Every structure is written in structure tokens, then in C-alpha cells.
A and B are shown apart, each in its own frame.
Chain A
Amino acid sequence: MKPRAIVAVVAALVVLAFGSAAFAQSDCKTLVPASPWGPNDQTGATNRVTPAVTKAAATEIKDGKVIAMSYPLTDGVPLFGTRFTKTILTATTLAPGGALGENQLTYMEDTWLSQSHVGTHLDGMGHIGRKDCYYNQTPMGKFITQNNMTKLGLEHLKPFATRGVIVDMVKVYQQANKLKANPACKKPCLDKGTVITGADIQAGLKMYNVTLREGDIVIIHTGWGDLFEQFPAQNALYNSGEPGIGKDAATWLISQKVVAVGTDTWAVEVIPGESPKEAFAIHQMLLTDNGIHIMENVRTDLIAAEAASTGRATFFFNMTVPKAVGLTGNFVGIEAIR
């Protein structure tokens, strides 16, 4: 082969190789909006939790009452198909002669084999994308390794020390005389497929005379979590669908500049979705396009009951997210402090 021909073949191969790579990567500037907090932002809506927001939220603590908002993380709770969580206890020093020293010290530790999106958990910025484009126009293909993400990990989040607002959708639907419960729920619940609208959320806020503020976290009680509590008996039903917010509600919540939305369901959004040809579209609206966190399997019945008995639907939202580098989400503990 002549040198010129060899050069031509090599050039063609180079063009093909790089051309293929270019086709595999989407133009994220056309698929995902830019973050309002700048091109380097990896934090998302927790940017809204300013010292002033936290200070204002602290005024919600009036009598120090703490209400749990997490479900137990244990074997048998609803997990999606192949997801798993398994603990292994290390207790070797309990064996005869295993104690250490004259002070007979013994110890135990755990190995926790688990996926991160199990139980009461937070979806981080790297959880959901559109094609290969994630929050803040991040071309995620460039930022993943075999083990984790090198961008948009949980370590970039700011504290969630802000005001929480419980919206009791069961009450809203009961008062509007449109509650269609599922017979498997032992307590009142909205049935799967029920689309919660922006008007529904506003009705729930009005019920307790609450106006949302920038930086709030909105928690919606649908009653569907009752099936989670019945684990494992109702796991299949729990995972088969859920009531949840639709696009209208998501649009309204985005306009309110909230930090996060949580529900007592496994996906926050209505399942089956409003369009049978879309998959988890609300996740994209909240996380990918607006950096608003999603919290799933949140225990909402206790705080809903507390709001009903006191007439107050606001609280200090207490949740610590581990600085888990490069993770897309993690199980969390949440408390409402009043």
C-alpha cells in the first residue's frame, strides 16, 4: 500500500473512531437546563438552605417534641426486584476466650451489604438523567468510574436544616369527597394511580394556613406507606404502583423553590404515570432539571397525625446525609422537631 493510501486509511479510521464517540454523547445544553447557581454547581436546591432559612426554621421548635419520619431498615421491607440489603455481624470476641485484656473487652461490628436507594432514602443529583445528561447539563459519561461518580455525589450537598411542611393528602381527598382507597390499606390511603395536582397541594396547605417559603421541604402524606408498614405481606402491591404527584403539581412545587419533596411512597410521583410512554418523568422534572431532591419511603403518618391534633403543619426538618463521595443517594434518618 502506498504511503498516501495508508495515511488516508488511518485518517478515515480516526474520523470514524472520534465520530462514533461524538455520536454517543448528547448535547447536554439542549437536554437539561443550566443550574441557577452557576456552571460549577453540584449542590442543587440545598443552595437555598441559607443561614437565614435555617434560623427561621429553628423557630418551629417550640416544645422539643421529636417525631420519627423514617421506617425501620430491616430485612423484608419492600425493595425493588433485585435490590437487596444484608447485614453480617462480626462478634468474634464473644467466643470463649475471645475477650481482650484483663478488662475483658469485647466488641461487635457490622458489614452492611446494601444498595443505597433502599428504605427511607434520599435521591441525590446523580440519580436521574435524560439520556447521558444529568443535573446542570453534566455529561455523566465523562464522570463515572466502575465504583462511583466523580461529579454530583452526595458530598456536595449542603445541610437540609430547614422548615418542613406536611401536606395531608388523605385529608384533602376526604374533605373533597374523592378518596378512592385501596382495600389493602388498613388506614385511609389514596389508591395507586391517583394523580395529585398542584391544586390538591394548595388545598392541603390552606387546610393548615401554610404558605410555602423558598427553601422549604414539602412532605406529602398519601397513606400508601401503610402498605410499607405491613411488610412483607403487601410488598408486591406497594411496589406495583402508587399515588403521587403529577406534572402539574411538580411544576407548582418547582415554582415555589422548595429544596426537596418527600412522600410515603417509593417514587414520590404517580405510578402508573400520566403518560404510558414516559418513565418517571417527575424525577426528571425535579432532580435533573431543577436540582430538587426526592425523598422516598418517608414515614408520614405520625407527623400527619401530629399536625391534625395540633393544627400546625410545619416543623424543623432534621436529616443528616452522609458525605458519601460519589454516591447517587443514600438511606437517611429523618425527624420532625416541633
Chain B
Amino acid sequence: MKDRAPASSRGGRRRPRVWLVVALIPLLVVAAGLGAAGAQRRYVVAFANVTEEPGVTVEGTGFTGREIHDGFVLAARQYPVEMVYYDNRRDDARATQNADAAIARKVDLYIQYHRGAANAAIGQKLKAAGIPVLALNYPVPGAPLFALDNVAAGRVAGEALAEFALRSWRGQPTAAVVVGDLSATADRVPERAQGVTEVLARRLPAVHVTPLDTKGNPAQVGPLLGKFLAAHPTGKVLLAATDDTTALAAKSAVEAAGRVHDTAIVSHGVDRTIHGGMNDRKEIDPNNRGSIVIGSVAFFLDRYGYEVLPLALRMLRGESVPARVPSRLVLVTAANVFLEYPPYDMN
């Protein structure tokens, strides 16, 4: 009895703790469930694309809006997101309608890729609806901006040309050309030319840079370049093309003028015309190292989804995101094209 009483007494003291544990179990279960749900939560992310019109290229490159869309589709496979796609059709009214639709749908985040005056008002609307915005290439006031830096891209191209000239043509008379749609200010193509010119002026001060404006017509590359080469019958030529189509047209013009051994070309974009599938004839290719197109600055527009969605998820998780995030730029050459763009299309 003497022993039992303390035991009983001990039991009496423990019972409330047992009840406490029992009472806490449902709470713990609910909390665990909420935690699991939080970890596996699928966010609804809207991507309002600049255009999805078939065949229409964007940013003064060979990439189409559809390729950017497809890049988001592929990237989204690995993230806990449900994507909703809109086509801004390069139209302010349409972009506004898309934002309204996303607000009605109560998306968790809105990725806005639109070049127009409506961006400010759209940003205000989304903010009022409590929907965070991530801007792509063109600012939305108050939203982080993921953007292509065209001047930086031009500098990469300029460095590649300068390096080539210093390595291969040191001491030889050299001229330089920047060819492309140099009047496409909306696509910021002149900024590429600016970057190229800056670097060449610094690294090769004796080299004069001549701009050749195709005004968006690749068929003009041949006549413009033909005249230039005729006016410079001797010496070497560094040629910066503002996009890959222009680069390929320039290569043809150089071949037609018989100046292959005098010319080096660096391009911008790295669209499919220049890297291609497994069995395409690829200008930049490990098996085509002798090409006068020595490289192109990759903009990775077709992989924006892989860079933008991680930023979107960081925003959704309440993490800070820099106000401006530059998109990746890489000089793609025959030496690294299969690292950056391993071909998978077997056609």
C-alpha cells in the first residue's frame, strides 16, 4: 500500500501529460498535413507572351514567340507550377485583357512579356489584386525585371572578334563591319552594335568600324557587303552580324566575293538556323571548325523558362529577388556548341 500510493500519485501527475499528448496528436497530424501540402503546393503561374503569332520573330533574333512559350512548357515540367498562357499579341488592349483574365483566375504570379505603354497600368492592376509580377525584357514599374542586355551581348561579340584578330591577323590591315537591322531601335539591335564598337575601339583602336544597315531585309546583306568588300579589296575584315540569319547571309556574300580567307564573322542569338538538330547541316558545329562564322552570342530565348521560373518560385516563397536579372549570354563556338545545345532532334 505504501508503495502503491506513491505510484498512484505518480500516475496522477502523469495523466495530464498523457492527455496533453493525446490532445496534441490531431493538431500535429493537421500541422503535418499542412506542412506537406505547403511543400507540395502547386502554384498557378501566368505567362503573358509578347506574341505567339507563327513565324514572327522577336528581339531582333531568329527566335519566335512560340519557341519561348515551348521553353516555358518544358521548364515547367520540373517545378510545382500549373502554367496559364496568354498571348499579348504585341497589343496594349490585348495585354490588358490578359491581365484582367489572370486576375479573375486568381493566379499566384504573373510573368509579363510585353513592350507597350500599358505595362504601367497592368502592373497597377495586378498589384491591386495582390498578384506579384515578374517582368520579362520590358519593365513593369515595381516588378523585378529579367532582361536581355544587348550592349553586353555586343561586347561579348566584340571581344571574340578582337581576340581572333589579335591571335590570327596581328599587324595586318583590318577593317570592321557591323551588319544587320541597325534601325530596329525597338528591338534594341543598335545596342548590340554599340557593344561591338566599344570593344573594338578599345582593343583594336586602329580598326574603323563601318555600320551596314539592312533595315530588316536580309536580302540587303549581299549588296551592302559586296560594296564594302569591293571598296576594301585587300586586308582583313571583322564582321559582326546582329542576328544569325544576317550572319549566314554575310557568309554567302563573303564567299561570293572570294574573301573567305580574309573574314571572320561573329553573330548574335544562336537560333536554330545556326545550331540545329542532330542531322541538320549546322554552321556552328564541331565538324565545321573551319567556318568563317567563328561564333555567335547565345541569348537562350528558347530557354527563358528555365531561368525565369526559378525566379518566379523564389518570389512566391517570399524570397528576395534582384530588381534586375540579366539573361545568360554565352559565346557559342564549334568548341562548345554541343555543350550548350546538345542536339536531340534526330531528323
The interface of chain A, by Cβ under 8 A from chain B, is 80-82, 193, 195, 235-236, 239-241, 266, 271-274, 276-280
Stretch from B27-35, B145-153, B227-235, B337-345 that touches the partner: B337-345
Q: Which of B279, B344, B347 contacts A279 (CB 8 A)?
A: B344
Stretch from B47-55, B71-79, B115-123, B214-222 that touches the partner: B71-79
Q: Which of B78, B342, B346 contacts A81 (CB 8 A)?
A: B346
Specify which chain A residues have a CB less than 8 angstroms from the CB of B339 in the assembled complex: 277
Residue of A81, A271, A278 with most partner-chain B CB within 10 A: A81
Specify which chain B residues have a CB less than 8 angstroms from the CB of A80 in the assembled complex: 278-279, 346-347
Specify which chain A residues have a CB less than 8 angstroms from the CB of B277 in the assembled complex: 81
Residue of B74, B303, B342, B344 with most partner-chain A CB within 10 A: B344
What secondary structure prevails in chain A residues at the interface with B? loop
For window 151-180 of B, CB contacts with A under 8 Å fall at none
Specify which chain A residues have a CB less than 8 angstroms from the CB of B347 in the assembled complex: 80-81, 235-236, 239-240
Nearest neighbor of B342 in chain A, beta-carbon distance? A279
Q: Are A276 and B306 in contact (CB under 8 A)?
A: yes
Q: Are A193 and B342 in contact (CB under 8 A)?
A: no
Specify which chain A residues have a CB less than 8 angstroms from the CB of B338 in the assembled complex: 279
Q: Are B346 and A193 in contact (CB under 8 A)?
A: no
Nearest neighbor of A273 in chain B, beta-carbon distance? B344
Specify which chain A residues have a CB less than 8 angstroms from the CB of B278 in the assembled complex: 80-81
How far, in angstroms, from A143 to B110 measured CA to CA in the complex?
A: 55
**In the assembled complex, how far is the CB of residue A284 from the closest CB belonging to chain B, in whole angstroms?**
12
Specify which chain B residues have a CB less than 8 angstroms from the CB of A236 in the assembled complex: 347
**In the assembled complex, how far is the CB of residue B280 from the closest CB belonging to chain A, in whole angstroms?**
8
**In the assembled complex, how far is the CB of residue A234 from the closest CB belonging to chain B, in whole angstroms?**
12
| Residue-wise interface mask of B (15-45) relative to A, using a CB-CB cutoff of 8 A (1 in contact, 0 not) | 0000000000000000000000000000000
How far, in angstroms, from A193 to B72 measured CA to CA in the complex?
A: 12
With A240-B347, A280-B344 in contact, is A81–B279 under 8 Å at CB? Answer: yes
**In the assembled complex, how far is the CB of residue B331 from the closest CB belonging to chain A, in whole angstroms?**
16
**In the assembled complex, how far is the CB of residue A288 from the closest CB belonging to chain B, in whole angstroms?**
16
With A81-B347, A241-B345, A276-B306 in contact, is A193–B279 under 8 Å at CB? Answer: no
How far, in angstroms, from A266 to B74 measured CA to CA in the complex?
A: 19
Specify which chain B residues have a CB less than 8 angstroms from the CB of A81 in the assembled complex: 277-279, 346-347
Q: Are A278 and B342 in contact (CB under 8 A)?
A: yes
How far, in angstroms, from A291 to B111 measured CA to CA in the complex?
A: 44
What secondary structure prevails in chain B residues at the interface with A? loop
**In the assembled complex, how far is the CB of residue B328 from the closest CB belonging to chain A, in whole angstroms?**
11
Specify which chain A residues have a CB less than 8 angstroms from the CB of B344 in the assembled complex: 241, 271-273, 279-280
**In the assembled complex, how far is the CB of residue B311 from the closest CB belonging to chain A, in whole angstroms?**
17
Specify which chain B residues have a CB less than 8 angstroms from the CB of A273 in the assembled complex: 344
How far, in angstroms, from A96 to B96 measured CA to CA in the complex?
A: 82
**In the assembled complex, how far is the CB of residue B224 from the closest CB belonging to chain A, in whole angstroms?**
35
Specify which chain B residues have a CB less than 8 angstroms from the CB of A272 in the assembled complex: 74, 344
**In the assembled complex, how far is the CB of residue B71 from the closest CB belonging to chain A, in whole angstroms?**
8
Nearest neighbor of B73 in chain A, beta-carbon distance? A193
Specify which chain B residues have a CB less than 8 angstroms from the CB of A274 in the assembled complex: 77-78
Q: Are A193 and B345 in contact (CB under 8 A)?
A: no
Specify which chain A residues have a CB less than 8 angstroms from the CB of B74 in the assembled complex: 193, 272, 276
Nearest neighbor of A269 in chain B, beta-carbon distance? B344
**In the assembled complex, how far is the CB of residue A241 from the closest CB belonging to chain B, in whole angstroms?**
7
Nearest neighbor of A247 in chain B, beta-carbon distance? B78
Residue of A80, A271, A278 with most partner-chain B CB within 10 A: A80
For window 309-347 of B, CB contacts with A under 8 Å fall at 338-347
Q: Are B342 and A239 in contact (CB under 8 A)?
A: no
Specify which chain B residues have a CB less than 8 angstroms from the CB of A240 in the assembled complex: 345-347
How far, in angstroms, from A241 to B342 measured CA to CA in the complex?
A: 14
Residue of B73, B278, B341, B346 with most partner-chain A CB within 10 A: B346
Q: Are A277 and B342 in contact (CB under 8 A)?
A: yes
Specify which chain B residues have a CB less than 8 angstroms from the CB of A235 in the assembled complex: 347
How far, in angstroms, from A243 to B78 measured CA to CA in the complex?
A: 15
How far, in angstroms, from A266 to B306 measured CA to CA in the complex?
A: 26
A and B contact pairs by CB, cutoff 8 A, 11 listed: A80-B279, A80-B347, A81-B277, A193-B73, A195-B77, A239-B345, A240-B345, A240-B346, A241-B344, A272-B74, A279-B342
Q: Which of B73, B306, B341, B346 contacts A239 (CB 8 A)?
A: B346
For the complex of A and B, the 6 pairs showing the least CB-CB separation, nearest first, are A81-B279, A279-B342, A80-B346, A239-B346, A239-B347, A195-B77
How far, in angstroms, from A241 to B278 measured CA to CA in the complex?
A: 12
Specify which chain A residues have a CB less than 8 angstroms from the CB of B343 in the assembled complex: 279
**In the assembled complex, how far is the CB of residue B330 from the closest CB belonging to chain A, in whole angstroms?**
11
How far, in angstroms, from A138 to B176 measured CA to CA in the complex?
A: 50
Known: A193-B77, A274-B78, A276-B74. 15 other contacts (CB 8 A): A80-B346, A81-B277, A195-B78, A235-B347, A236-B347, A239-B346, A239-B347, A240-B345, A241-B344, A273-B344, A274-B77, A276-B306, A278-B342, A279-B338, A280-B344
Nearest neighbor of A276 in chain B, beta-carbon distance? B303
With A81-B279, A277-B340 in contact, is A266–B346 under 8 Å at CB? Answer: yes
**In the assembled complex, how far is the CB of residue A327 from the closest CB belonging to chain B, in whole angstroms?**
20
How far, in angstroms, from A317 to B264 measured CA to CA in the complex?
A: 58
How far, in angstroms, from A312 to B340 measured CA to CA in the complex?
A: 45
Specify which chain B residues have a CB less than 8 angstroms from the CB of A279 in the assembled complex: 338, 342-344
**In the assembled complex, how far is the CB of residue B304 from the closest CB belonging to chain A, in whole angstroms?**
11
Specify which chain A residues have a CB less than 8 angstroms from the CB of B341 in the assembled complex: 276
Nearest neighbor of B306 in chain A, beta-carbon distance? A276
Specify which chain B residues have a CB less than 8 angstroms from the CB of A193 in the assembled complex: 73-74, 77
How far, in angstroms, from A236 to B338 measured CA to CA in the complex?
A: 22
How far, in angstroms, from A280 to B345 measured CA to CA in the complex?
A: 11
Q: Which of B73, B78, B279, B340 contacts A82 (CB 8 A)?
A: B279
**In the assembled complex, how far is the CB of residue A255 from the closest CB belonging to chain B, in whole angstroms?**
21
How far, in angstroms, from A280 to B342 measured CA to CA in the complex?
A: 9
**In the assembled complex, how far is the CB of residue B265 from the closest CB belonging to chain A, in whole angstroms?**
25
Nearest neighbor of B280 in chain A, beta-carbon distance? A81
How far, in angstroms, from A263 to B345 measured CA to CA in the complex?
A: 18
| Residue-wise interface mask of B (279-306) relative to A, using a CB-CB cutoff of 8 A (1 in contact, 0 not) | 1000000000000000000000001001
How far, in angstroms, from A193 to B306 measured CA to CA in the complex?
A: 15
**In the assembled complex, how far is the CB of residue A274 from the closest CB belonging to chain B, in whole angstroms?**
6
How far, in angstroms, from A195 to B78 measured CA to CA in the complex?
A: 9
How far, in angstroms, from A84 to B279 measured CA to CA in the complex?
A: 13
